Amino acid sequence: MTTAPSASPDLSAVPDAELLRLDHQVCFSLHAASRAFGGYYRRALKDLGLTYSQYLVMLVLWE
């Protein structure tokens, strides 16, 4: 069973200043989440002496 995609909301009545708020920007939310994950991995990998990039290489080599 498939459903029809929902229509995009009409943004013509929304002021430009409201659309440009940071909490309405997906890119800002993604950036904040990326930094949070980076901080987590930095703390978790500190004892191993690895950066996140080095950790990813180790995962690839492990396979």
Angle between helices 26-46 and 52-62 (to 10 degrees): 70
pLDDT, tens digit, 9 for 90 and up, residues 45-63 = 999 999 999 999 999 999 9
Residue 9 lies in a domain: no
Residue 39 lies in a domain: yes
Reported pTM? 0.52
Neighbour tally for 45: CB within 10 Å: 15
Residue 6 lies in a domain: no
Which residue segment(s) compose the domain that 34 sits in?
22-62
Residue 13 lies in a domain: no
Residue 17 lies in a domain: no
Number of domains in the chain: 1
pLDDT, tens digit, 9 for 90 and up, residues 7-31 = 676 667 777 777 778 777 888 889 9
Taking the alpha carbons at both ends of the chain, their separation in whole angstroms is 38
Residue 52 lies in a domain: yes
